[in-house]
Amino acid sequence: MQTTLKIGTRGSPLALAQAHETRARLMAAHGLPEQAFEIAVISTSGDRIQDRPLSEAGGKGLFTKEIEEAMLARRIDIAVHSSKDMPTVLPDGLELSAFLLREDARDAFIGKAARSIAELPRGARVGSSSLRRQALIRRMRPDLDVVMFRGNVQTRLRKLDEGVADGTILAYAGLKRLGLEQVVTDLMPLEKFPPAPGQGAICIESRIGDADVERMLAAIHDAPTGQALACERAFLAALDGSCRTPIAGHATISGDKLSFAGLIISPDGTQSHEVRLDGPASDAARIGAEAARAVRAKAGETFFDGWA
């Protein structure tokens, strides 16, 4: 393998923090100096499109397309992503080779005056670009005004300061990685406000067949996180999940046992269907796919019609 491992990433502060965390773990695992790695910042369509929801612009792949093209062209060796941004189908020749130990998967509420969604007055504005978060907010508080909020974490916090909204909801893991825990005014319980599949987990993508890279990544891979994500991504894939579909799913691993909770919800928050399934962690992907079949059967085949 070449002497320098090139790590591809988006250029947002959170993406860079995740790339630096990955580099630090590789350095520690293999006793390598920082100079053994190069972090290559790649601008993606998802970063450039700020005037409309991703669901209208093309979905999750907008955050990965240019990075994956660079990897297939061998301009980079690995790519570091937020797992929740990854489409369930990857380009031919690429695979998710490692998952770092998962951070807290919960969502966090950040309020200006109110410290929680419950404290917000009727008609207050809550900013979010996520269809899942929008739907869950509407389910909890149909009297609130949900407004579109795009941009990286710092941009969204600035919009909050400027009065564009009275509160917003962001992934707690991202705020922790940026050292911004102090802005959080409330943490959303997993049971009432389930996260996106993959939320809180960093994944590393590489070319299939790069044996040297695979050996390096194996040293930093967290197996329980990988099993949880296999379940969640199978659930998403079986439901044809994209940015157009409000889907939540979260798996936990305890020893050799896996527990999964999933939810599908209409964008207006008025209809939702939940599923819970337990089983051997070694059957993670099967459990996720089975949970998807169960919740689809519960909801009926027409549930997604008209808005998916």
Q: Is residue 305 part of a domain?
A: no
Which DSSP state fits 90?
A: P
Same-domain status, 76 and 216: yes
Q: Which domain holds residue 173?
A: 107-187
Main-chain dihedrals φ then ψ at residue 169, nearest 5 degrees: -125, 125
Q: Is residue 157 part of a domain?
A: yes
Tokens 């999964």 found at: 260
**pLDDT tens track for 141-169:** 999 999 998 788 989 999 999 999 999 99
Higher pLDDT, 212 or 244: 212
**pLDDT tens track for 25-43:** 999 999 999 999 999 999 8
Number of domains the chain is built from = 3
Q: Is residue 236 part of a domain?
A: yes
- Contacts for 164 with CB less than 8 Å, ≥ 6 apart: 125, 127, 147, 149
Same-domain status, 176 and 291: no
Same-domain status, 96 and 112: no
Angle of CA points 66, 69, 73, to nearest 5°: 140
Which positions are catalytic?
A: 85
Same-domain status, 43 and 66: yes
Strand order in the sheet with 37-41: 37-41, 5-9, 78-82, 202-207, 94-99
**Distance between CA atoms of 8 and 73, rounded to whole angstroms?**
12
Task: Record the pTM.
Answer: 0.92
Strand duo 94-99 + 202-207: pairing = antiparallel
